[in-house]
Structure 1
C-alpha cells in the first residue's frame, strides 16, 4: 500500500491558473514546499496544457522520497488556432485538450506525462474528471490503470473529481486505492460525506483538495470565490459566521478549513494549491498550530456543521 504524506502541494497554480507565474517563482514555490516537509505533489496534463508537469518535474529532478501524482483522461493535441487557453490557464493555446478514457488513451497519457515531467515514474495515477465519460472510464480507463498497478508501473490508482456521486460508483464497482475529492468535504460543503463514509468502509483513502472552496475560506476574513465563481451572499454570510466561531476559539478560518477534512477517518491527506513560496509557508505554519477540539462542537451548536 502506498504511503501518503498528510499534506500535498497542488500544482495547478504553477500551471498559470487564472494568472501567469514565472519559472523562477514556480520553482521557488516547489522548493518552499519541499523545505516545509511536503512530500506529496499533484499535477495533471490539464494544468496549463502541460506547463505544471514540466515545471514540477524540473523542480523534483534529483530528489527522492516523494509521492508524485498525475492524471489521465485529457490528451494534449497540437493546435494552430492561436490565442490563449480558454479553460482558465494563462498560457498560449499551443495545444487543445482531447477527452480520452480509452485504454490506449490512458497509456499514451501517462507516457506523455513522463516525457513532460522528465522523470522515470509517477506513483499515483488518477482518472481525471470523467463526469461525462463514466462508463468508458469504468470499462476502459480503470482496467488499464489496474494492469499498470499489477505490473508495478504505478503504485496506486484512483479517480479525481469535483463531485462525489460518480466517484462513489468507482468505489463500489472497482478496486481503487485513492479518491481525490475537490471541494465537496469542506467547512462550507459536506455534500461528499456519503463518499467518504463509503471510502472508509472499503479501505479507499481520500485526498481532500479544494479545502478553501477556491478562495472563500483561504483568509481569516472570508472573501473571494466559491468554486471559482463569485461567492453567493448566503455562503459568504455562512463563512463569516464560521470565522467568528473560529476566532472565539483562537483559530483562523483557513486553519480550521485545513484541519476539518482530516478529521474523517477516510482522509489520508489534504492537497493545497499554492503559487508562491509565501503561500506555501503560510499554509505550513497554520498546519503546525493545533486546533482545539472544542471548536467543532462550537460550530455544531451554531448550526454551522451537521451533527454527523
Structure 2
C-alpha cells in the first residue's frame, strides 16, 4: 500500500494545486468559453477570483483557442498567479516557436511569465533541439520567462534530457489509471536533476468520469478495469476525483498537480476534493492493465461530478 505520509514533507495540497482552463466543446457546456460573448470575461474573472481566494497560485496555459485572451482580460489585481506558457510545436519552425511564446505573453497581458514549456520533449531531441533551447534561454535572459522546461510522456527519458539541458521544470502525464511515470521511478529521477515536477492529465483526460457507453472503440476492453476501479473506490468511500487528487498528491516527487477546470463550479469541486481526506488505498490495484491506451485517446470527458 502507498501511504499518503510519503509526501508529508511537501506543501499542503492547495499550495501544490495548479489549474488549466479547459476549452474543449464537450467540457464547456455552461462554462467559461461557452457563455454568451458578453459574459465570458465575467465567467473567467469569477473562476480566477475563486482560485485566488482558495490559495491557488499557478495557472497553466496553451497557445490555442481563446483562453489566453480571456485570461488576459480577467486577472485579479494584483494577480497572485505564476503563469505557465507552452510553445507551439517545432514543426512550425523555430522562429514561429519564439514569436508565439512572445505573443502568448501579449495575449495574456503579462510583461513576463513564470515558466515556458516546450510542448514536446521530442522537439528537443532532434538536430534543431539544442538551437531551439538556446533561443528560449535567450527569452529567459531577457526576463520574459523566469524558468524553462518541457512536457514529456512516461515513455520518454525525460530525466536525462532535463539533466542535459538544465531544465527548471518538467511536466509529465501521470494519473490513477496510468501510473507508469511513477512506477518506473521517472518522476523521482526527474526530481533528482533539480527540476520541478509538474503532473498533468491527473483526471486521465476525463476517463475517470466516463461511463462504459462513452468509451471509444479502442478503449472498450478497459471497461472492466474502470468498473473495478470504481467499485473499489466506492468500497473505500472515496469518489474518483478525490482519489485522483489524493494519488497525485501522494507522489513525493511532484511539486505541482495540474487540474483542468472549465468553470468556477468545477474548480470548487476540485478544491473540495483536494482538501477531503481519502482512505489509505492500494493505488497500484486501481491502474488500468493497458494504460498506454489513454494517451492515444483524443476525446475529453466532462467532469460530471464537478458540474
TM over 0.5: yes
Distance 1:118 1:151 in 2: 17
Q: How many residues align?
A: 266
The TM-score, its normalising length taken from structure 2, stands at 0.75
Once the two structures are superposed, the pairs formed by residues 114-153 of structure 1 within 5 Å of their partners are 114-129=105-120, 131=122, 134-136=125-127, 138-153=129-144
Contact persistence 2:179–2:287 (CA under 8 A): no
Deviation at 1:295, TM superposition (A): 1.1
Q: 2:178 aligns with which of 186, 189, 201?
A: 189
Deviation at 1:206, TM superposition (A): 1.4
Distance 1:99 1:133 in 2: 14
Once the two structures are superposed, the pairs formed by residues 219-258 of structure 1 within 5 Å of their partners are 224=214, 229=216, 232-258=219-245
Q: 2:68 aligns with which of 28, 53, 62?
A: 53
Deviation at 1:43, TM superposition (A): 0.6
CA RMSD of aligned residues (A): 3.0
Deviation at 1:121, TM superposition (A): 1.3
The TM-score, its normalising length taken from structure 1, stands at 0.75
Distance 2:62 2:47 in 1: 17
Match of 1:99 in 2: 92
Match of 1:81 in 2: none
Match of 1:80 in 2: none
**Greater helix share, structure number:** 2
Match of 1:84 in 2: none
Contact persistence 2:229–2:286 (CA under 8 A): no
Q: Relative to structure 1, is the Cα distance of residues 39 and 170 closer, same or farther in structure 2, using a 3 angstrom cutoff?
A: same
Q: Relative to structure 1, is the Cα distance of residues 275 and 231 closer, same or farther in structure 2, using a 3 angstrom cutoff?
A: farther
Deviation at 1:191, TM superposition (A): 2.1
Contact persistence 1:131–1:166 (CA under 8 A): no
For structure 2, the residue ranges without an aligned partner over 5 or more in a row are 1-10, 290-307
